[in-house]
Structure 1
Amino acid sequence: MDRLTSMSVFARVADLGSFTAAAKELRMSPTMIGKHIRFLEDRLGSQLINRSTRRQSLTELGRSYLDHCKHLLDEADAGDALVEEAMSAPRGKLRVATSVAFGSYSLAPALVRFMKRYPEVSVELILSDKMVDLLEEGLDAAIRVGTLTDSTMMSRALSPYTGLVCAAPSYLAERGTPAHPIELAGHECLRYPGWSDARRWTFLGPDGEVHVDVESRLTINNAFGIRYAALAGAGIVLMRDELLAEDIEAGRLKVLLPNYRTQARARQILWPRNRKMTPKLRALIDFIVETYG
């Protein structure tokens, strides 16, 4: 039997003065009430209640034990109330992982807005271009690019990443501006594994799908590094539009092949399937979908 439940039954018997009254209030049979009392007495090795045909009375030990029971029951009720309150509004710490570039230039500022909306929530943002294990690292959620293959994860789809082909004006002045994807084969193309591990770039345009095998003398595994290399005139870059938007607007990079679009890549927020959906996690998921959906 559950000791806390038995304590609760004992306290009601003591307050009401009889097994029958307690059974009626607690919607138990008098026999079950007696079993709870005997469970406690057997555990303690001493009698708590003097039984008679008309009324039950507490033994000396029973009176002392009653005070402790009521104290523990009050503490248990306070703990339940605390959990119930915590579950009713977003509060507590969230650990979230994503890539270095996206987390730095986009997610970090967005999380500032999230924390202003939910002032009792704190966030630890883990930035890594490696595929981290959410369960092993104790993470609540992660934002990733690509198709979800892990069955231990739940996910919500976000807007897909789209890529732009860009180059600095200094590079184009020196090497010329390609007018068709096939001309990229004769240019310096910067390779960023975080966008695609393949050396073949795929485009969709007026003449259908076009595949180009590009040469990459410079490969950098960090989005910021490849962006700065492009800004320095090292070559043509294919990267997600969000990271290049400010450079394009300022004229530091020029969009190439405007009549062709690159293949979009899926993006999603995911969290462990067995993780309880707390208010703070639900609030984060809804906010990310609202911001990037």
Structure 2
Amino acid sequence: MDKLVSMGVFAKSAELGSFAAAAQALDISPQMVAKHVAGLEADLGVTLINRTTRRQSLTDIGLAYYDRCKVVLAEVEAADALAQEILSHPKGVLRISAPITFGAFSLAPFVTRYLARYPDVQIDLSLSDRYVDPIEDGYEILIRIGELENSSLIARPLAPYKLIACASPSYLAQHGEPETPEDLLLHDCLAYMNGRSAMPCRWAFTRNSSTHEVKIKGRLRSDNWKALLHAATEGFGITLGPADVLVPEINAGRLVQVLPDYMGPSRPMHVLYPSHRKPTAKIRSFIEALVSAFGI
């Protein structure tokens, strides 16, 4: 038998003064109450309750054991209550992994708004474009861009990660505006590289179900898109970047979208979390807020 359950049955018997009363309170049979108490006594090698046909009373050891049982059972109840509070109220440290550009430009402002709403939550935000294992690396939430691999993670779709091409008004005034993707061959393009600078960079655009892929070239390439954004606003070329970052720059007049009649690259984006455990309130609340802000 479960010892904690038996301790609870014993404590209830001690409080109410009889097996029958304890059985009624616990909704079990008096025989089951007697079985729990007898099991404890056999395990301990002592008599906890003196039993006669008319009455029962605690032995000296039974009284001392009852006092300790109350402490143990109270701690168990407190632990259960704490677990339920964590499941129902966002609280504690939340470890999140996200891609660098999306994390720095789009996710970071969202995170501060979330923290303002939930003051009992702390967030450890790691930005990296490398693959991370949520179990091995200890992350509770991951945001990934691109096609998902088969895994045990639960995935919620977010809005696709769309890219658009932009340049500064000064650059376009000096070099002209491309009318087709192929015109990019005549321009300086600010390319994002993923650690392999020797590889050619290709930009793909779609129009009327037809794809135009161009092997662009330019004087500046970087693995940090913030550097490319700075170069674009300074008039050093055309860049291809996330729409949610570039639209505010366009609205502010610092950049102009080029090739607006063509659809730039678009990649699926998801938020993921491990499926092996019940999500806590901090995980649930963050994911629901994230889907509300960046959902389809």
TM-score (norm 2): 0.88
Shift of 1:207: 8.1
Q: What does residue 143 of structure 2 align with?
A: 143
1:248 — aligned with what? 250
Alignment of 1:207-218 (within 5 A): 208-215=210-217, 218=220
Query: Relative to structure 1, is the Cα distance of residues 3 and 206 closer, same or farther in structure 2, using a 3 angstrom cutoff?
Result: closer
CA contact (8 A) 1:169 1:253 kept: yes
CA RMSD of aligned residues (A): 2.3
- State the percentage of identical aligned residues: 45
Post-superposition offset of 1:173:
4.4
**Letter matched to residue 179 of structure 1:** E
CA distance in 1, matches of 2:209, 2:7: 79
Cα distance, 1:258–1:234 mapped onto 2, change above 3 Å: same
**What does residue 279 of structure 2 align with?**
277
Shift of 1:184: 1.6
Give the Å deviation of 1:141.
Answer: 0.8
Q: The residue matched to 1:229 in structure 2 has which SS? A: helix
> Offset at 1:217?
5.2
TM-score after normalising by structure 1: 0.89
Aligned partner of residue 178 in structure 1, secondary structure: coil
Give me the whole-angstrom Cα distance separating, in 2, the residues matched to 1:16 and 1:232.
82
Aligned to 1:8: 8
| Ranges in structure 2 where 5+ consecutive residues have no aligned partner | none
Paired residues, number: 291
Contact 2:87 2:279 in 1 (8 A): no
Change (3 A) 1:113 1:212: same
Structure 1 residues not aligned, in runs of 5+: none
Residue type of the alignment partner of 1:283: S
Amino acid at match of 2:285: A
Q: Distance between the aligned counterparts of 2:209 and 2:284, measured in 1?
A: 45
**Contact 1:206 1:259 survives alignment (8 Å):** no
Evaluate the alpha carbon distance shift between residue 57 and residue 220 of structure 1 in structure 2; reply closer, same or farther with a 3 A threshold: same
Given candidates 250, 255, 261, the residue that maps to 1:259 is 261
Counterparts in 2 of 1:250 and 1:19: CA distance versus 1, 3 Å:
closer
Give, in whole Å, the separation in 1 of the partners of 2:79 and 2:242: 48
Indicate the SS of the match to 2:114: helix
Q: Which residue, out of 228, 246, 252, partners 1:226?
A: 228
Q: Which whole-Å CA distance do the structure 2 matches of 1:207 and 1:44 have between them?
A: 79
Report 1:18-167 matches (<5 A).
Answer: 18-167=18-167
What is the DSSP-based 3-state SS (H/G/I as helix, E as strand, rest coil) of the residue aligned with 1:46?
Answer: coil
